[in-house]
A and B are shown apart, each in its own frame.
Chain A
Amino acid sequence: MQTVTTQTEAIETHTIAVLVDNEAGVLGRVIGLFSGRGYNIESLTVSEVDHHERLSRINIVTTGTPMVIEQIKAQLGRLVPVHRVRDLTSEGPSVQRELALVKVVSTGERRVESLRVADIFRARVVDSTNESFVFEIVGKTGKLDAFIRLMEPLGLIDVSRTGVAAIARGTDSL
């Protein structure tokens, strides 16, 4: 059959927040849903946010046509351990942040230049040897991408990123 994805519709990027019971296998259910139905995961973060109630929050950045995004939300919503699903992209403004640890190995002018770029991006040095820095940078995904691109010719050898944490602006809660 023809699927809806073959229709000519614009591909959109959405950030979806999901509140789940922090129980064994719940992340597997979410990931299995995406792989099993052919949805994309650009970024995924998960962590317990309410220890007393044993609730975890999953933030997923995904891409698809509007119809596919609606499907993703509906499919997430019918997983039994899911409490709430919110589309932070379509339901009002939100704040999105990601943290990266970026290791640069270099000496001389390149080492100095890496520090200068880090300063511009407000990245912090969290580890240092004579030949290396580990920078910590926080910001939107695009800012991190730009920083990492600039570090490439300056001795970049390792990157670790957290993925996107996101939250709605204003007084609303998940």
Chain B
Amino acid sequence: MMQERMSGAEIVLKALVDQGVEVVFGYPGGAVLPLYDAIFKQNHIRHILTRHEQAAVHAAEGYARSTGKVGVVLVTSGPGSTNAVTGLLDALLDSVPLVCLSGQVPTQLIGTDAFQEADTTGITRPCTKHNYLVKDVELLAGVMHEAFYVARTGRPGPVVVDLPKNVQVAEGPYVQAHQVKHKSYRPPVKGDAAAIEKAVDLIASAKRPVFYCGGGVVNSGPAACAALTELVRATGYPITLTLQGIGAFPGSDPQFLGMLGMHGTYEANLAMHGCDVMVAIGARFDDRVTGNVAGFAPGAEIIHVDVDAASINKNVRVDIPIIGDAGSVIADMLAAWKAKKCKPDGEALARWWRQIETWRARKCLAYAPSEAVIKPQFAIERLYAAAKDRDTYITTEVGQHQMWAAQFYRQEEPLHWMTSGGLGTMGYGFPAAIGVQLAHPDSLVACIAGEASFMMNMQEIATAAQYRLPVKVFILNNGYMGMVRQWQELLHGSRYSESHSEALPDIPKLADAFGITGMVVDRPADLDAAIARMIETPGAVLVDVRVDPAENCFPMIPSGATHDNMLLGELVGSRGPTVTEAGKGLV
């Protein structure tokens, strides 16, 4: 059979269509002009022009996270690809499937310091799951399909395909995705049956169990989350979720202890500390979760399910490792639980829940209400009250507001919560919301932001305006980089070095300048009306919520401390431990 031949740019576009891509986020430039010309000539793929390549990647992340599909980015060579680097690393650390196509100077100019040349594969090697420099158009179609396969399977992540301009122009063959088989990459799916059986026996014998689950369950898909929910309910055991795991289990279920970790709940962290069996699924024991690993869950036998073998025994030694896809392993666990007719130790479990309820009774998230000034926690509670009965997607920026959102905005289902956890990228939330809104045009998409984070990618107001995307940016404006300010208060004698947000824009005027709506609210009594107006106003809306500048985010496990050493808010109890000298050196 004669193979179809077409230009490299057409091969790329055809591969995108065959991979089910509908939207590409990008920014044109000299080295990708043939690709942009191919985009101009077709109607299958919609291109969304962001105003910065970093924002294009975050928008693709939002799109991917809220759909479970691979997000696609298109950037030019040199500054186009270097601008994308932050987004790529963000996607790598949070396991978001992306394919980033980058232009490159023609192959004959590579290595000559040509105009807008960058060693893109070299620069992005540690920021991607994998990357390719395609020097031969004959291989292009195969690489495109392979890139999507690598991005979405196993532990998902970003893949860069660097495309020299002459390769985009040259003619080559097109191959279908099913004709491509990777030589070495074999992502694990099924977990080891014997290990799963052993794990289920251990789970059934537990006296003080806890499920600790993360983004791996969300990434595995809604079916995995449903299976997790069934397993957790079948056992009756408590469950805590990581920042990325939020939504994997219903947030209003009484078995849910809230998020764990540095700003996790008192009950979640103490359950982790006191448990005898920990069932970790799709979570990677990062330092924000474990605190001081030397004193982490001292009495626990740990089961760890992860699709990434390198995440097992990395920070914490575990007893039963299971390498496999979360959804597959949970389904097998559930089947084994039923087949063995497992029954939890009812007496021990009741005792454990009584203990947990005494921790819960401390109401660790309590804050001092105020009629004079808007408390940031209150603002999120009111937003939640107004939005919870709609189909709502929440993105966040990074900082105090992010942690309050994780604590106070309960998520009932997966794929509705988008936040930058691993890299902690300020400027993530607003462009991510744009990507989410494109995927879900009729849903309410709100970005819970801080004023400092918002300013890091606020040029994207133009993108929201251009495509008439009704994203709602709910800016908790405390006039500080709040988390920096909090650490400076707690660790550095309240010397607020460079953390004050000076020269903030007038938000309504800023919105007006771009043709969208802006508003200010500074009294608690006006908050509900402002939120209602934000939701009802068509198009994008920026809300400047003036909140208490002195509010700190508690509970807090100080750096270097263990889960049983939490700082609590003034209302809740003692201020707890102070940070040790060693702790000050930690991040």
Contact = CB atoms under 8 A, between A and B. Distances in A.
Contacts, number: 65
Interface string B465-500: 000000000000000000000000000000000000
B133 A1 contact: no
B289 to A, nearest CB: 10
Contacts of B287: 1
A67 B308 contact: no
A46 to B, nearest CB: 16
Nearest to A82: B184
B125 A28 contact: yes
A170 interface: no
A80 B182 CA distance: 9
B121 A80 contact: no
Interface residues of B, number: 33
Contacts of A78: 154-155, 308-310
Interface of B: 121-122, 125-126, 129-131, 133, 150, 154-155, 182-185, 287, 290-294, 308-310, 312-315, 317, 559-560, 586-587
A77 B309 contact: yes
A110 to B, nearest CB: 47
A3 interface: yes
B312 A80 contact: no
A80 B309 contact: no
Interface residues of A, number: 24
- The B interface, classified by DSSP as helix, strand, loop or mixed, is loop
A36 B290 CA distance: 22
A25 B308 contact: no
A74 interface: yes
Contacts of A70: 313
- Which 5 A-B residue pairs are closest in the complex by CB-CB distance? A1-B287, A74-B310, A80-B130, A83-B184, A74-B309
Given A28-B122, A32-B126, A36-B126, A80 B290 contact: no
Given A1-B292, A78-B309, 17 more contacts: A1-B287, A1-B559, A2-B292, A2-B293, A2-B294, A3-B293, A3-B315, A21-B183, A24-B133, A28-B122, A67-B317, A70-B313, A74-B309, A74-B312, A74-B313, A75-B310, A80-B185
A3 B296 CA distance: 12
Given A1-B292, A4-B315, A24-B133, A81 B121 contact: no
Contacts of A83: 183-184
Nearest to A70: B313
Given A2-B293, A2-B294, A80-B185, A29 B314 contact: no
9 contacts: A1-B291, A1-B587, A2-B294, A3-B315, A4-B293, A25-B121, A28-B122, A67-B313, A74-B309
